[in-house]
Each structure stands twice: as structure tokens, then as C-alpha cells.
Chains A and B, each alone.
Chain A
Amino acid sequence: MNFEFTEEQLMIQQAARDYAQRELIKDVLERDATATFPTHHVKALAELGFMGMMVSPDYDGTGLDAVSYVLAMEELSKIDASVSVIVSVNNSLVCYGLEKFGNETQKNKYLKPLARGEKIGAFLLSEPEAGSDATSQRTTAEDKGDYYLVNGTKNWITNANSASTYIVITQTNAAKKHKGITALIVEKDSPGITLGPHEDKMGMRSSDTHSVMFNDVKVPKENRIGEEGFGFTFAMKVLEGGRIGIASQALGLASGALERATAYAKERKAFGTVIANHQAIAFKLADMAVKVENARNLCLKAAWLKDQGKPYGIASAMAKQYAADIAMEVTTEAVQIHGGYGYVKEYHVERLMREAKLTQIYEGTSEVQKIIISREQLK
């Protein structure tokens, strides 16, 4: 066992912290209020190498390990989960999926600009009637010889408008149910793609979320990832890694809220002393600290397993479920510790609380994670 980080990992953590605390903080409240996409931050983070962190340098990525990714995601998410979800989707869903399962041509054409962060990717799985239950896909891809004709609607798509490259999970053979599911790379500006309105979300308001409608969209066959019918396995494998990203995001929301609550408790006075000296507050902070530490350890364990090439699907499900649930608890307590100040936007914790809610919902709800965990437990 070794709980020490390497010097590089610490430097990456510091770089992410510096960027978040120096740059993201400047306009995070305004972007939250106006639901503005952080174009300039995505560009700057791309230049620093955050958009393709784990992609091999052969494909223009940075070639970092998943542990570094957890550290970076936590730091970005302490300040701005809208930005970190853009980073997470690009890294652990789109880039990872292409690098792991794409062919050489696809990697050269699509992965490289994504890893450089010049383009952004989106992962289109959820549908109006298939969210966390990924088996019941209704978006169809009909074999037309040298291309597929895609029809259907995808929902809740992060980066839908800002992305150039979509990975779309489609049904190519409905009779085969989940064995008839196929993953396709679709360029966003393909004719026949239209976006629904910008979703007016409770939190993560600076990331762009839309539904995406496909109406007779032609997708060349060379854009299929793996064989026909591989799409379900593909999606499940990609989501295993995606859970590490969202778990670390939830961790960052919780640890960011804990940092703010701790600082506030040491400053704010009530009944003649700082409120940190009241046991009711001090014990709250202790409970929050334990939860954050547990979540961090679960995230790092899942990342470590991934880095070791060991199975990590259950570990990442545990990390995601636990981190998301405690993020909700810890951010709520942080608002409580702040009292009235916690309820106004200037103090950030109400935003962290709104954002934490989404981590329990997207990329597999907490309940879906429990299905995964319990199936393993009961098998």
C-alpha cells in the first residue's frame, strides 16, 4: 500500500487548483446566472492539456493516469462543476471510447483534435424513454449499404451544441435488443441533425444541454465503432470510466463546500465566539470531512485499479454512488453552516448544492449504481 502521490500528480493537482481558483472563480457566478458556455475556459484548459488528459501522446493527448485525472477533476469541480463536466465528458466518455475501441483511421481523424481540445465531443446515449436504462434504445440506424440512416431523439446531451463530434448509441437490429445496439461517430454538422432548446437547468448552468433530433442523418459505415451489435458493451465499458469522472466531480463539489464551510465557521461569530467553537458546527464539519475523505478514497481506488489494468467497474460504481450522495449531503450542510449567507449566490455553496444534485442523476443515477453494486454482491 502506498498513499503518497507522485510529484507529477501533485503538480497536476496544483495546476488544476491554480486555474480554478485564479480563472474559473472570476466568472463562475455570472455564467451560472446567464447560463453561458465557458468557451474561453475550454480553450485555456485545452492549452494546458486538460481536455485529453488520459489519451496517449501518440494521439495528441497528455498520457496521464486516472489518479491524476481524479485530482484534477476534484480541483476544477470545487469551483465550477459546469466546466468540469465538459472536461469529464470529453475525457472519459468520448476520448476514452475512441482510444479504446476506435480504429486507427477514426483515432487519427476524430480522437486527435478532441485530445488537443480543439474540438469537443458529446456522448449521446440517453433518450426520452431510455435514460439510466440503456438497453431500450429507440434511435435507429438503418443499414443502407455504405452508410447508416439514423433517426430518433437523444436527450440531456451535455456539450450538445458546443461539440463537433458525437458518439451516438443507436439500435441497428431491434430484434436483438441490447445485442443489436451499435455505436457511431457522427459529425454534428451532418444534415438532418437539429437541436432542441437549451435546457434551463437547476445547476451546471454554464454547460450546454440539449436534446438532439436525428432525421434521416447519413453516417458513413467507416464511422461505426467496432462491429454491429458492439454498441451496448461499448457504452457500458465507457460508462465504467465515466463514473470515475463524475465521482471525482461529486467529490470536488463536496470538498469545495467543506472548504468554504470550514473557512466560514472559523470567521463567523455567534454568541461571542466563532461558530467553529460550537460543537454543533464542529461535529457537522467532522462528519463532512469523513464523508469527503471516504469519497476521495473510493475515487482514487477506482482510478488506481484502472491504471493497474484491473477491473474497476464495481469500484467506479461505488465511488460514483457514494460521492454523489455525500456531495448532496455535504453541500446541504455547508449551506446550513452558512445560515442565511448560504442561501445567497455570492457565497457559492447554494450553487454547489444545486450542482451536487445532478451528480446523483446523470451518467447513471445513484439507484442504477446500486443495481450494479448489488448484482455483484449477490452473484
Chain B
Amino acid sequence: MSVLIYIDNTDGKFKKAGFEAVSYGVALAAQAGSEAVAVSLGNVAEAELLKLGNYGVSKVLSSTDERFASMDNQAAAKALAFAAAKVGAEIVVLAHNNLGKAIAPRLAVKLQAGLVSNATGLPLNLSPFTVNKNVFTGKAIGHAVVHTAVKVLTLSYNSYGVVEKPVSVNIEAFDAGLGDADFGLKVEQTQKVTGKILLSEAEIVVAGGRGMKGPENWGGIEELAEILGAGTACSRPVSDEGWRSHGEHVGQTGKIIAPNLYFALGISGAIQHLGGVSGSKVIVAVNKDPDAPIFEAADYGIVGDVMKVLPQFIEAAKELKA
């Protein structure tokens, strides 16, 4: 019996969401009295695989088949089902990111498993297997009960955290035996956003809303984000107006984020916006309207002109980082 943790890579590198999934899986295995096993698909160097030991997993299955680089959901699900059978996995954990979300439902069908996506913590109970998950886009929590013998979970980002617990790692190569027919996707082009902190990974996010008045005023947001090593985001009206790209829209129908610190600058905090950011650990709001709903969700707030406040934030952040 074991807990299998899938850790995805981007160009051979693991990311925080994966380390968090490993940390979670290790704790889950301890709770269930079983063994945690990580599995990696694609061309990942040994040095990178060894890093997983920092988060408490001592056994890593690795299939270095380069064809996984196309991030083919069907092929990945097949390979993970193979790995799950190999280690007798009772529970499979994936990060709730683009790839995890895509693979998990296919894998659950293959394993005849119940799927809980967006799980937010360790099981409340192992029998019946009960785990909390976000529902209504963060506006409520559901206590999901899984009735099947095998379970698949995707872990909501930043809901558990990365826990360091160094152990030595035993890497085991495996071949899932996939044919070329299993890889149906042909990648033509990949565009990477370079030099920017990814919203999905950012520990800190600085977001602007309509209160910023226009795209010409985003310089301050970008400067603050750069000083703090933060990602930049915006509210829906801002992306609808074309001031910023849709990729920056956070909210119920845009990206759902859960950073440690979220700055809402000139964002009134419509219920759809709050749905996308309510998982943030600390929310700072600046808005000239004292009755803006964002202040209900915020931990720290300033009622005032964001144009006056932002330069002070930048100055204070500079001092802090100096």
C-alpha cells in the first residue's frame, strides 16, 4: 500500500506546487500508515529528482521518456496508472495546476477511483475517507467523502505548504510501455513568459483594478511587484478594457490564486473577484471608497488614493529589501 505523488516538471525542473504535493503526500502516507512514493514523467535529471528527498519522500519512480514533454493528458494518465499499479497505490496526489487538473480525472477513471479536486488539507478521516475541498470557488468548503478503495486527490495551491524533511532518495527508473500512438498531441510552438513571476506560483501578488484609472498607471504596480518578487494581476474590468492581458485576470472566471500576500489596489472587491483571491493568506486593500467590499475581505487596508499610497509602498518596500 502506498500514496503515489505525481510531480510535474517544466523543462526538467520541479516547481513549488510539486514540492507542496510531495510534502502533503508524505504527511498523508504517515497518517495512513503507508509509504509515500513520488513519480516523475519526462526528462528530469537525477540531481533534480534527488531534491524530492528534501520533502520527505524516499522512493521516486522516474520515467525519463522525452515524449512526455508534450504534456499529453492521455499518455500521462496511462503512465501514472501503470505506476500506481506497480506500487499498489491507494491514494494518488497531484497538484491542482493545469497539468494535474487535466490528468487526474482520466487517471481516476482508469483506477476506478473517486476524485477530489481542489483538496485543501489532510483527510479529516480515513474511514470513511473524508477531505475538505473548495466549493463555490472558495465561497464555501465541502467535506467530500470518497467511497472507492482507491482515491485521487488534487491539492489546492498553497493550502498545505512546503514542508522540508530531508531523507535520502532511492530513484527507480520505470517504463510505462507507451507506444507512439499514445502521444497524440503535436506541439507546434511554446511561448514562455520570461523574467516574470508566474501568477500561479507567486508568493506575493500585486493586483490593480479600475481605480488605477488607466494602463499608463501600471508602472507603480510593476515596480512594487519587482521589488517584492511578486506577480502582477488585475481585476476583470481591467482585462475587459484591454488595459492588461486576460492572463492577469484573477477572479472567479479568471485565475484562482492563493498567495501568501495579495495587494488589491483600486479593486472594489466584487463577489466574483473575491472568489478568486479568497485563498490568499493576507490581503491588503487600498481603495478610495471606504465602503468597498474589498475591506470586508482584507486584513490590512487604506482608505485613500492609490496614486498617493503606491509610491509610499514602493519606498517602504525598497527600504525593507535594502
Q: Which residues of A pack against B, CB within 8 Å?
A: 267-269
Contact = CB atoms under 8 A, between A and B. Distances in A.
A158 to B, nearest CB: 31
B290 interface: yes
6 contacts: A267-B291, A267-B292, A267-B293, A268-B291, A269-B290, A269-B291
B230 to A, nearest CB: 29
Nearest to A267: B291
Contacts of A267: 291-293
Contacts of A269: 290-291
Interface string B258-299: 000000000000000000000000000000001111000000
Contacts of B291: 267-269
Q: Mostly helix, strand, loop or mixed at chain B's interface? A: loop
Contacts of A268: 291
Nearest to A270: B291
B318 to A, nearest CB: 34
A269 B289 CA distance: 11
A127 B290 CA distance: 50
Contacts, number: 6
A318 to B, nearest CB: 39
A267 B296 CA distance: 10
A267 B292 CA distance: 7
Nearest to A275: B291
Contacts of B292: 267
- Point out which of B290, B291, B293 has the most chain A C-beta atoms below 10 A from its C-beta: B291
Nearest to A269: B291
List 6 A-B pairs, minimum CB-CB distance, nearest first.
A267-B291, A268-B291, A269-B291, A267-B293, A269-B290, A267-B292
A4 B90 CA distance: 53
A63 B139 CA distance: 42
Interface string B232-276: 000000000000000000000000000000000000000000000
A271 to B, nearest CB: 14
B200 to A, nearest CB: 28
A268 B292 CA distance: 9
Interface string B285-322: 00000111100000000000000000000000000000
B141 to A, nearest CB: 25
Contacts of B293: 267
Contacts of B290: 269
B201 to A, nearest CB: 32
A268 B293 CA distance: 10
A342 to B, nearest CB: 14
A100 B290 CA distance: 55
Nearest to A268: B291
A269 B293 CA distance: 12
Nearest to A22: B240
A352 to B, nearest CB: 20
A268 B290 CA distance: 8
A72 B202 CA distance: 45
A267 B287 CA distance: 14
B54 to A, nearest CB: 48
A269 B290 CA distance: 9
A308 to B, nearest CB: 41
A241 B60 CA distance: 77
A259 to B, nearest CB: 15
A267 B290 CA distance: 9
A268 B291 CA distance: 5
Nearest to B293: A267
A117 B127 CA distance: 65
A310 to B, nearest CB: 44
A269 B292 CA distance: 11
A269 B296 CA distance: 13
A1 B166 CA distance: 75
B294 to A, nearest CB: 11
B251 to A, nearest CB: 16
A20 to B, nearest CB: 16
B217 to A, nearest CB: 18
Interface in B95-120: none
A40 to B, nearest CB: 16
B242 to A, nearest CB: 12
A262 to B, nearest CB: 14
B239 to A, nearest CB: 14
A15 B306 CA distance: 36
A267 B291 CA distance: 6
A338 to B, nearest CB: 11
Nearest to B292: A267
B39 to A, nearest CB: 45
A238 B290 CA distance: 50
B213 to A, nearest CB: 12
A300 to B, nearest CB: 31
A267 B271 CA distance: 13
B150 to A, nearest CB: 43
